[in-house]
Amino acid sequence: MKAVTAAGTLRAAAALTTSVVQEARDRHDLYPVPTAALGRLLTGGLLLAADFKENERINLRIDGDGPLGHMLVDAGYGEARGYVSNPEAHLPLSSQGKLDVGGAVGKGILYVVKDMGLKEPWQSSVDLISGEIAEDLTYYLTHSEQIPSAMALGVLVNPGAQVEIAGGLLVQVLPGCPEEHLAKAEAKVARISSVTQLLKEMQPKALVEWLLEGLEPVTFAPIPVRYSCKCSRDGMVRALISLGRNDLEELAGDPDGFEIVCRFCNEKYTFRQEEIKDIIANL
C-alpha cells in the first residue's frame, strides 16, 4: 500500500509480507534466524520497489562476517525472491529475548544494484550499520540515494518455525518537504517498539495513513505481493550453453546426467546425458 501527502511532501509505503516470507522459509527450509533475516530483506526490497515500473528491478546483497553468510534479494513491483547462504544458522536469543538478526549478519557491506531500464544499472554500496536490515537500508537511502527516509521491518517466527506475521513500512521525503513533516513521521517510526505487533493491529492502508496523519494522506490501490522466481528449464539450458563446449563435454561424460538447483527457489532441473549431448550438437 502506498500513500503521499496532499502537498506532495512525503510518501509512505507499508507491506504485509507474511505469505512471501513463509514461502521463502518453506522453499529454503530456513531456521528461525535466517527466516527473520531474509524475511526482513525481502520486505525491504518490496518496499523499495513499490514505485517501480514493470521490468525495473532492485538487487540487495548483504555480505556479513556472521554465521548467516551472505543474503541476496531480487525484487520488482509486487514480487521478490531471495536466498541466504547458510539456511541453518542458529544463535541464542538477543538480550531483548528476540531473534538475533544483527548478530547473525555481523559486520559487512550492503550492495545495491538498480536496473531501471537504462543503458547501465545503478550500483552502490555502504557499510552495514547494525546488521538489523532496516537500519542498514535506511542508511543506504539517506547516504547513497540522498533521500532522507525511515524504515521499520519485522518478522515474527513462532516456536514451530512458521512465520506468524511479517511486514514493514517506509516513509521518504519528496522535493520541497519541510523538515517538520519528516521529523513528525520519523518520530512515529522511532516510537514503534514492535513492528510485528503493529502489523497485527493495523492493515497496510491504516499504517500509511497513520504515518502521514495530519498531512492529508492520499492512498493508492493496494499492491498484491508474492514470492516469485522466473527460473525455467529454458533458462537453465541457456546457462548451460554459456559454459562452452569443453565444460559441456565434461558434463556429458557422466552417464547419470546431473541436476541444477535454482538458488532463489530451490527448483530442481534434471538433465539426462542424452540431453547434454543434444545441446552440444546444436552449438
Q: Which amino acid is at 48?
A: L
According to CATH, the superfamily of the domain at 233-281 is HSP33 redox switch-like (3.90.1280.10)
Distance, CA of 15 to CA of 59 (rounded, Å): 18
| Burial classification of residue 186, based on how many CB atoms lie within 10 Å of its CB (0-12 exposed, 13-18 middle, 19 or more buried) | middle
Q: Which amino acid is at 204?
A: P
pLDDT, tens digit (0-9, with 9 covering 90-100), for 105-124: 999 999 999 999 888 999 99
The pLDDT value given to residue 208: 95
Count helices and strands (H / E) in the chain. 10, 13
Q: Is 74 helix (H, G, I), strand (E, B) or coil?
A: strand
Strands (E), 158-200: 163-173
pLDDT at 255 over 90: no
Q: Which segments of the chain belong to CATH 3.90.1280.10?
A: 233-281
Q: CATH 3.50.50.60: does it fit domain 2-227?
A: no
| Burial classification of residue 13, based on how many CB atoms lie within 10 Å of its CB (0-12 exposed, 13-18 middle, 19 or more buried) | buried
* pTM tops 0.85: yes
Give how far Cα 216 sits from Cα of 87, 126, 199, Å.
Answer: 43, 34, 22
What would the mean pLDDT of 87-107 be, rounded to a whole number? 93
pLDDT, tens digit (0-9, with 9 covering 90-100), for 3-45: 999 999 999 999 999 999 999 999 999 999 999 999 999 999 9
What would the mean pLDDT of 191-217 be, rounded to a whole number? 93
Inter-helix orientation angle 245-252/273-281, to 10° = 150
CA nearest 4: which of 230, 128, 172, 198? 172
Q: Which segments of the chain belong to CATH 3.55.30.10?
A: 2-227
